A = this chain, B = another copy of it.
Amino acid sequence: MADGGIGRILALSDGVFAIALTLLILDIVVPAATTDDELGKVLLHLWPRYLAYALSFLVIARFWVIHHQTFRLIVRDNATLVWLNFLLLFFIAFLPFPTAVLGGHEGAPAAAVLYATALFLTSASSAAYLWYATGRGKLIRPDVGRGQIRAMRARSMSGPVLFALSVPIAAVAPYGAEAVWIFAFPLARMSFVWFFAEEPGQQGSPGPPLP
């Protein structure tokens, strides 16, 4: 029963993630008046849109990976978790808009500030449900150790901190902010590999069966 409840939260979330990932491409369009001869040049000049597409795809993919890892540990749901999860989905579904603005206004401070703010709010809401589920909500598997929880919580703060720092940078140096976002990804990626590498060992142990 509880599992059935979580199952639908995941189904809805996966749907929103999948659609946000796929809608990003709708921002890349060749102007209708383009002739066949100009086409090659026009396609190359769209590079800021390709970059914005790739960046947002990576960012949404990473939030999905965090969601996937966290919900593997969650065994119960409640109303607060449902609404914190909706808060995350709200910002995930919003991301195609700042992506489109960034792709169309490469180098404009306003576009970079909007994007940085959106990433900050998304990562803050991603941390929020993780903190709630592993803390007050008591929704995770009883066999998850305190050390692992502390590590997950600490790691969940790297996004909000980095993206908050990138907001003022975006206002004065838009390209600098983009460098932070691109740098933030592989950095966080490495800690992720380290975390994931641990898990198989735990999966191999018998442990209590999940309800």
Contact = CB atoms under 8 A, between A and B. Distances in A.
Contacts of A78: 196, 200
Contacts of A8: 10, 14, 68, 71
A181 to B, nearest CB: 17
Consensus secondary structure, chain A interface = helix
A22 B28 contact: no
Contacts of A188: none
Interface string A63-89: 011001001100010110011001001
B1 A12 contact: no
Interface bin, chain A: 35 or more
Contacts of A10: 8, 11
Given A8-B71, A12-B64, A21-B93, 6 more contacts: A10-B11, A12-B14, A25-B97, A26-B96, A40-B113, A57-B93
Which 4 A-B pairs give the minimum distances between C-beta atoms?
Answer: A15-B18, A40-B110, A36-B108, A79-B196
Interface of A: 1-2, 4-5, 8-12, 14-26, 28-30, 32, 34, 36, 39-40, 43, 53-54, 57, 61, 64-65, 68, 71-72, 76, 78-79, 82-83, 86, 89-90, 93-94, 96-97, 100-101, 104-105, 107-111, 113-114, 192-193, 196-197, 200, 203, 210
